[in-house]
Amino acid sequence: MNKIFPSKHQILKTQIPLFMVVFVFMLTCSSCAWKKAQPFFQEGAKIDWENETPERVLKRLQYSGRQLSNLTAYFSLSLDPPPKGHFSNLSGILYLTRLKGKQKVRIKAQGMFGRVLFDMVHKGNSMEIYVPSKKTLYKGKAKKDVPGESPFGEVFESLMVDLSTMKVKKGLPLLMQKNDVIILLQDEGKLILDKMTGMIMSYRNKTQEIFYKGYQRVSGYPPVPIIIEINSLVDKRKARCKLRDVNFDDNSDNFSLALYKPRFVKKLDELEAPRSH
């Protein structure tokens, strides 16, 4: 039987150093030039692709990302095939924010009837995980993900893929297809946009392909995808993340576990999952 609570290895893999990423548009650099750019998404307006360049399109996508520095949402994650001996589904509340290149993430994983399975906060290199069933707070340094080993972690990373680090491949135009527009990137990756709306439909690099679906508009903000799917090119696993009740209000007060009163405080390395029955 799959474990209700993930193993220590699995939890550490769902960490977030890069993990908060955009829903692809959230993290962008603070270039003054971008502040003067115009929003790329204008509902109902036809995009004149013939007069666009890869550099200009990418800059406008990055500009849109600047407006999405905070995210709060309910989430559900699933993995196919499920890893042997580990959980295959996870749901709960996700908080993430990024300001001036610094990002913070909180995952409150919930079981039946809203019971908290664990509550994790990741800031920089530090990670804290409170496990109510053990009345224990685990604290320590987060380890970096190993590509392809953590589809759940990769899903979280993909929520806020950092477009600010992307650069277009020099000397190449936009590639026009029937329904898509393709931007080729310097790292051999590529962004595929919907020709009608200009929204990112997928991003592909050497290790994974990420699909963004079900775009919805939250009042006052650019449209965001509520479904993110990842196909690993390393181990052929698939992961799916669905969000609901998304909002981008200031959530800076939600990255502390101080309200809990743990009976024990232990090192992160001591965290162990209960055995499956």
Where residue 35 sits, what CATH number does that domain have?
2.50.20
Confidence label for 7 from pLDDT (cuts 50, 70 and 90): very low
238 located within any domain: yes
35 located within any domain: yes
> Which pTM does this prediction carry?
0.73
259 located within any domain: no
Average pLDDT on 75-93 reads 80
Q: Assess contact for 15 and 127: CB atoms under 8 A.
A: yes
176 located within any domain: yes
178 located within any domain: yes
Cα–Cα dist 234/206, whole Å: 9
Number of domains, the chain: 1
Is 134 in a helix, a strand, or coil? helix
**Domain extent at residue 54:** 8-247
Q: For position 17, what pLDDT does the model report?
A: 29
Q: Assess contact for 73 and 228: CB atoms under 8 A.
A: no
69 located within any domain: yes
User: Which tens digits make up the pLDDT trace of 205-244?
Assistant: 988 899 999 998 887 788 888 999 988 888 888 889 999 9
- The winner for highest mean pLDDT among 74-83, 130-139, 238-247 is 130-139
273 located within any domain: no
269 located within any domain: no
Is 58 in a helix, a strand, or coil? helix
